[in-house]
Amino acid sequence: MPIKIPQAKKKTEKKASGGRKIPFQSPKGMHDRLPADFLYFDKIEKAIKKVSLFYGFDRLETPLLEDIKLFERGTGLTSEIVQKQMFTVKTKGDGVLALRPEMTPGVVRAYIENGLQYVSNPGKFFYCGPVFRYEQPQHGRFRQFYQVGFEVLNSDDAAYDAQIIIASLKIFEELKLKNVVVKLNTIGCKNCRAAYVKKLKEYYKNKTGDLCRDCAKRYTENPLRLLDCKQEKCQPLKAQAPQTLDFLCAACKAHFKSVLEYLDGGQIPYLIDATLVRGLDYYSRSVFEFFAEGVDFAIGGGGRYDYLSETLGGPKMPAVGSACGVERMIEAMKLQDVHISSKSAYKAFLIYMGDQAKKQGMLLLDEFYKAGIPVKESFAKESLKSQLRLADKEKVDYALILGQREVFEEVILLRDMKSGTQEAIPLKKIVAELKKRI
């Protein structure tokens, strides 16, 4: 049976422990990560660490705040993220910093700034952390959310496009997500894309009146994103639009063919979606997104970004990467009833009665710490009954019971929580005894 994780209460229901409402709430679209949520978060972090170890990605972490220009130039002025979704902070001078709305430009900056190309080439990195987008919060869409992702810097090898897709799929596999679909497309390079965009503009030229307001803007600012529109009104035109695949230059064609061959070789199923273009400006060649059965939003996405470094003023540095939305993967896990083990991290529960026992218990916890055995306590509770109830709730295998008499006799009762049997063990031997049993 999957365990039930309590959903966060509606803001209006939030109450202080005394029953009174507190006058503060977490900001709109931002949520507390409660202890029960970490059953999922920890699993996801464990998954990306495991996959990264096997595929050779090292952890890299960039600051939460970056120069706003990094995203204006990197993520791109025509992207919705930069146009509408940045949280900004004015510095004391005239500078403006932005809370990172995504990780990729920061990773590229860090790679170049720290001279990592001399240490790790190609640079293969993974990350996990919060990102911020000023969006209208709705189901699966938050203002602070977490991403885990991979980047391969300084290589244009199609094998890495495939490896990024495979590594992302391995995360979903680790999380036991079923029926994940990879949608894949190529949007060509600078050269072949120009011819395609020209054709696309010609196609839409006399039809702008039939487009939604955003698409009318996209027609002039970033025509490729006309294909990304989800509005009902724009779908018929989108369906008949020219496709990037028909305009690829020989090099892009060969690159895409190679990506597909690597995926086929690894028996990785995918769907080619000619309308997939992604919403960030830096992409070139391969673009992809991941969808899980039961959820109607992408749980991850990425692609190649061969020009990002140069756009930021850095060296020529082809690259490819992907990022997955942690909250969205959790939502998919819940919808798919993925079982999450709720086994306690604690091996035993320390129960005390009286002041002397409490003092002795404090010393004992230190002994367990040194032995690497986590033991839980509840020093704020005094009655045996309520402490036993907590031990039961924690689902530990053993309770360690220390009363005044035990302190006097220098023993402790070791109670097997399943059978209910208990025996007195000399205090000096309890750490070794518990170690033997767990």
Closest residue to ligand HAM, Cβ-based?
325
Q: For residue 145, what are the β-bridge partners? A: 131
Shortest spacing between CB 144 and ligand HAM, in angstroms: 8
Q: Which two tokens stand for residue 182?
A: 């990879």
DSSP 8-state symbol, 18 = T
Q: Does 151 bind ligand HAM (CB under 6 A)?
A: yes
Shortest spacing between CB 424 and ligand HAM, in angstroms: 54
The CA–CA distances, whole Å, from 309 to 59, 73, 96, 238, 282 equal 20, 10, 21, 31, 10
Torsion angle in degrees (nearest 10) through CA of 170, 173, 179, 184: -10
Q: Using CB under 6 A, which of 14, 31, 141, 376 touches ligand HAM?
A: 141
Interface with ligand HAM: number of residues (CB under 6 A): 27
Q: Which long-range contacts (CB under 8 A, 24 or more apart) does 377-385 make?
A: 377/349, 377/350, 377/352, 378/349, 379/352, 382/353, 384/351, 384/353
Whose Cβ is closer to ligand HAM: residue 177's or residue 298's? 298
Q: Does 123 bind ligand HAM (CB under 6 A)?
A: no
Q: Does 406 bind ligand HAM (CB under 6 A)?
A: no
Q: Does 162 bind ligand HAM (CB under 6 A)?
A: no
Q: Does 142 bind ligand HAM (CB under 6 A)?
A: yes
Q: Using CB under 6 A, which of 37, 135, 173, 433 touches ligand HAM?
A: 135
Q: Does 318 bind ligand HAM (CB under 6 A)?
A: no
CA-based nearest residue to 379, from 405, 398, 354: 354
Q: Does 168 bind ligand HAM (CB under 6 A)?
A: no
**136: burial class by Cβ within 10 Å (0-12, 13-18, 19+)?**
exposed
Q: Does 323 bind ligand HAM (CB under 6 A)?
A: yes
Q: How many residues does the chain have?
A: 438
Find out whether 310 and 316 touch, Cβ atoms under 8 Å. Answer: yes
Q: Which residues in 33-70 are b (16+ Cβ under 10 Å) and which e?
A: eeeebeebeebbeebbeebbeebebeebebebbbbbeb
Q: Does 122 bind ligand HAM (CB under 6 A)?
A: no
Contact region for ligand HAM (CB under 6 A) — 12-20, 89-97, 231-239, 298-306? 298-306
Q: Does 303 bind ligand HAM (CB under 6 A)?
A: yes
Shortest spacing between CB 321 and ligand HAM, in angstroms: 3
Q: Using CB under 6 A, which of 66, 306, 327, 377 touches ligand HAM?
A: 327
C-alpha angle with apex 229: 204 to 283, nearest 5 degrees? 90
Collapse the DSSP code of 418 into the 3-class scheme (helix H, G, I; strand E, B; otherwise coil) and give the result. coil
Shortest spacing between CB 104 and ligand HAM, in angstroms: 4
Q: Using CB under 6 A, which of 301, 352, 360, 434 touches ligand HAM?
A: 301
Contact letters for ligand HAM, residues 85-114 (x by CB under 6 A): -----------------xxx----------
**13: burial class by Cβ within 10 Å (0-12, 13-18, 19+)?**
exposed
Shortest spacing between CB 238 and ligand HAM, in angstroms: 19
Q: Does 147 bind ligand HAM (CB under 6 A)?
A: yes
Shortest spacing between CB 334 and ligand HAM, in angstroms: 15
C-alpha 71/C-alpha 63 separation (Å) is 13
Amino acid at position 150, single letter: F
Q: Using CB under 6 A, which of 149, 188, 223, 318 touches ligand HAM?
A: 149
Q: Does 158 bind ligand HAM (CB under 6 A)?
A: no
Would you tell me which residues interact with ligand HAM (CB under 6 A)?
Answer: 102-104, 133, 135, 140-142, 145, 147, 149, 151, 280, 298-303, 305, 321-325, 327-328
